[in-house]
Structure 1
Amino acid sequence: MPISIDRFDDEPAEVLNLQEGTQPYQILQFLAEHSDQAFTQTELHEETGIKRGSVGGALSRLEDRGLVRHRGRYWAIAEDERLASYAAQIGASSSSTTDDYYGGE
């Protein structure tokens, strides 16, 4: 969908699209679900299905916004109260979908 030229000119270059389904959103969601671990770009590619060449760019944009951090080859969700809350919410919703709620009588 096209945007107006005014919006194009006025919108900062560092704006990151975190709408559900986007690559940065998928990576952030995955890292939030696994907030106790750090992953390489290759592992993120394998786990999310995002093209290998796109993972690095998405991670860099997420890092610029302070949403992820990395050390060496490994990437993890940033240490931020807002993200800790997000990770807890993601963890709660994913555990509720995997609970054996419907399994036994």
Structure 2
Amino acid sequence: MFNFSTDERLKIRLPDLSRDWNGYTPHQQEKILMEWEKIRGTIPDRIKELEVEIETLLTELSEEDDFERSCMINERISDRASAINDLWIWYRTNPEIHA
């Protein structure tokens, strides 16, 4: 039927639907949406957590003299920025119930 599974990268639960959205009954869609709205409400807090991590990494980067270590820090910053972008996409995902 449907499930929500934790995305390890984003650290939130995402819908793992076994069929197309319109393949679910309105009742099933409502249950999925109720659960999704609970999860969706946590996304801004998760984004803030990642922004704090980025700020910490930027401070670390500004103090780093080793080129290889700087590259690793930049990669971590990029990963977190990418996760923020994906979280905003999921946050704007707002399916509707179809009869």
Structure of greater Rg: 2
Normalising by structure 1, report the TM-score: 0.27
Normalising by structure 2, report the TM-score: 0.28
Higher relative contact order (CA 8 A, sep 6+): 2
Normalized per residue, the structure richer in helix is: 2
